[in-house]
Amino acid sequence: MAFSPVYWLYSILQWILAKIFSPEPPAPGARLRRPKIAIIGAGLTGVSAASHCVGHGFDVTLFEAEGRDHLGGIWSQVNSTSGLQIHSVMYRFHPAVTWEGGYPKQNQIVSQIEKLWKMYKLEDKTRFNTKAEKVYKDAQGRWIINNPSEGRFDGVIAAIGTCGDPKMPHLPGQEIFKGQTHHSSQLDNVEAKGKKVLIVGGGASAVEALEWAVDTGAAEIKVLARSDKWIIPRNAFVDGLLAFNIFGQETLFSWIPETILRLFFYRDLKDIAPADQGLFTETPMVNSEIFNQIRAGKAKWLRGDIQEVQEDGISFNKRGQGVPKGGPGHTTLVEGDIIIMATGYKRPSLSFLPDEVFEEPYGPPRWYLQVFPPQHPSICANNCTYVNAIGTVGNYHIGIYTRLLLMFLVDPLTTPKTWWMKRWIDMTSTLKSLAPTRAFDFFTYSELIYWFCFVVLINPFRWKWAAFVFFGIGSDLPARVVEKEDKLRNGLGYEKSYLN
């Protein structure tokens, strides 16, 4: 690899971050203390959360429904050509992660997950082929996963993510198509050189499939999208600015970034830009190459509805900009040899959690900080309740959420009460009542940071934990304070902390 000063500086930055913020792995044979955390899912979020817990001296058990080959979650199951659409500086799911470039591919992402899994000695703490069917409390108030033989736990982190099995809907007439049909996640052994490729779908999976088709030498590529989605540049600075909208919603000033994107990014392709949907309403696609391929004539982006599949392609009702789904258009045959179903993934279910956490109006994602059900602050559904956002699901907030849970469990004076958790949800819903989406259905990363700061600052007993919660440092001092508080707590008849 040729020397790159930018990559050299990035490497130095990653080394510094790892040295300062990575918790020390436990020594061989070290006895980890309570609280003990059950982590459901051994994907990126689960392994990262487990690493933070173990690194700070707390015991964990990971429950993974699939086998060892599923370590890494959805990243272990996608194409080898899959990679980050956002810059890796925005995908630092643990301080010890060391990327080799701006947009790493699938194998490098999985290797970093495996690196954490081994670094923090999680091999003996992971139970593969163990699906969480039921989570409930015993008579002493400790959590049980499935049955008591699996152990008892003080807290639960649900880390099942938002992407499960590939979603493969049946298209009318699909059985008479003479060519091949594949899901966008299963393209490693597909040959598309010199062929006409039809990509069904208009989301991030479609963009990734388009890049794959270009790289494999497809003769023609056409994306058949039912609706328009915002596309933003593959630029960490621009993406960071867009995520800086602390209100987490469309505002009176949202027209400014939307207009700038149309003028300087879409330019001659403004017809693809959404006409009736704001930027801060749905997760945008992050890609710069797609416009280059369209302008070069290597790809076309068609908006409309699929009528039916025919032997040589898809009968497609092409609609104009702003015409709603199912609206009037011009029906034409779009010829193709391969159909790629870029239709996403089924969302994993949180139904293993207690029934009361789904009671309206406080069902997910309307939870405290979006991840803590008001009925049970000892549960953290880390990266499971996400709907739409401008930011990333693979960043420092995984550690912050994990350390918030540890703080709640270790220090009873910091544990939020159900009534106050519900009031925070109500307050946030009121503040975002004018948003075109529901309050927790869309957020920005800066809004998430605001949430964290607010809940720490509003409770003086949490102040001593601030450095620990936000940066993972300084846990010894607040722990000593908690031990002193235990004497007062016990004297007043309150429950002692788990440190005792």
Q: What is the CATH number of the domain that holds 265?
A: 3.50.50.60
Domain boundary residue, one of 341, 367, 399: 341
Question: pLDDT band at 288, cuts 50/70/90?
Answer: confident
Q: Is the pLDDT of residue 203 over 60?
A: yes
Tally of domains in the chain: 2
In this structure, the answer to whether residues 179 and 160 fall within a common structural domain is no
Q: How many CB atoms lie within 10 A of CB 349?
A: 10
Residue 427 confidence (pLDDT) above 70: yes
| Residue-level pLDDT at 8 | 86
Share of the chain above pLDDT 70, in %: 96
The sign of the dihedral angle between the CA atoms of 364, 246, 229, 197 is: negative
Using one digit for the tens of pLDDT, what is the confidence trace for 434-490?
A: 999 999 999 999 999 999 999 999 999 999 999 999 999 876 667 777 777 776 666
The answer to whether residue 497 sits within a structural domain is no
State residue 185 phi and psi, 5-degree precision: -90, 0
Q: Are 159 and 45 in contact (CB under 8 A)?
A: yes
Mean pLDDT value across residues 295-303? 93
pLDDT single digits (tens) 485-499: 776 666 555 565 665
Burial 292-325 (b: 16+ CB within 10 A, else e): ebbeeeebebbbbbbbebbeebbbbbebeeebee
Is the same domain home to 436 and 300? no
* Whether the Cβ atoms of residue 252 and residue 344 lie closer than 8 Å to each other: no
Do 30 and 16 sit in the same domain of this protein?
A: yes
Residue type at 9 in one-letter notation: L
Residue 144 lies in a domain: yes
For residue 153, which amino acid is it?
F
Which residues are CB-contacts of 446 (< 8 A; sequence separation ≥ 6)? 243, 244, 245, 246, 248
pLDDT exceeds 60 at position 500:
no
Question: What's the rounded Cα separation, in Å, for the pair 35 and 406?
Answer: 8
Report if residue 125 sits inside a domain: yes
CA geometry: angle 375, 443, 75, nearest 5 deg:
85
* pLDDT in the model for residue 485: 73
- Collect all residues with Cβ–Cβ distance below 8 Å to 8 and sequence separation of at least 6: none
Under 8 Å between Cβ of 116 and 123:
no
Q: Which of 292, 323, 341 is the last residue of a domain?
A: 341
Residues 303 and 397 in one domain: no
- Residue 442 in any domain: the answer is yes
Residue at a domain's end among 310, 341, 372: 341
Q: What pairing do the DSSP bridges indicate for beta strands 313-318 and 330-335? A: antiparallel
b/e code 62-85 from CB counts within 10 Å (16+ = b): bbbbbeeebbbbbbbbbbebbbbb
Regarding whether 331 and 242 lie in a shared domain, the answer is: yes
Asked whether residue 496 is domain-assigned, the answer is no
**Percent composition of the chain: helix, strand, coil (DSSP 3-state, to 5):** 35, 20, 45
Same domain, 266 and 318: yes
Query: What percent of the chain stands above pLDDT 90?
Result: 80
Q: Is residue 65 part of a domain?
A: yes
Measured distance CA(245)–CA(114) in Å, rounded: 34
Instruction: Identify the DSSP state of 378.
Output: T
Whole-number average pLDDT of the chain: 92
94 or 290, which is more confident: 94
Structural contact between residues 26 and 146, judged by C-beta atoms closer than 8 angstroms: no
Instruction: Give the residue among 371, 347, 373, 369 at the shortest CA–CA distance from 359.
Output: 373
Q: Work out the pLDDT band at 3, boundaries 50, 70, 90.
A: low
Between CA 388 and CA 242 the distance in angstroms is 14
For residues 80-86, average pLDDT = 90
Q: Is 474 left (phi over 0), alpha (psi -120 to 50) or beta?
A: left
pTM: 0.94
pLDDT band at 362 (very low <50, low <70, confident <90, very high): very high
Task: Say if residue 333 is in the same domain as residue 379.
Answer: no
Distance CA(136)–CA(143), nearest Å, equals 6
* pLDDT tier at 230, thresholds 50, 70, 90: very high
Does residue 169 sit within a domain? no
Which pLDDT score is estimated for 273?
A: 92
**pLDDT number for residue 496:** 59
Quick check: 1 pLDDT over 70? no
252's CB contacts (< 8 A; 6+ apart) are none
Do 118 and 89 belong together in one domain? yes
Q: Which of 125, 14, 133 is nearest to 71 (CA)?
A: 125
Average pLDDT (44-60) is 96
The DSSP 8-state label assigned to residue 220 in this structure reads E
Q: How far is CA 306 from the centre of its chain?
A: 30
Whether residues 336 and 190 share a domain: the answer is yes
Do 19 and 128 lie in one domain? The reply is yes
Total H helices, total E strands in the chain: 12, 19
User: Are 307 and 361 members of one domain?
Assistant: no
The 3-state DSSP class for residue 380 equals strand
Q: Residue 492: its pLDDT value, please?
A: 56
Q: Is residue 500 part of a domain?
A: no
CA distance 49 to 401: 9
281 with 394, same domain: the answer is no
Domain residue limits at 205: 174-341
Question: Among residues 224, 61, 207, 47, which one has the least CA distance to residue 127?
Answer: 61
**pLDDT tens track for 109-141:** 999 999 999 999 999 999 999 999 999 999 999
Closest CA to 53 of 477, 485, 475: 475
Query: Quick one: pLDDT at residue 474?
Result: 78
- Number of neighbours of residue 285 by Cβ within 10 angstroms: 19
Give the C-alpha separation, 107 to 348, whole Å. Answer: 23
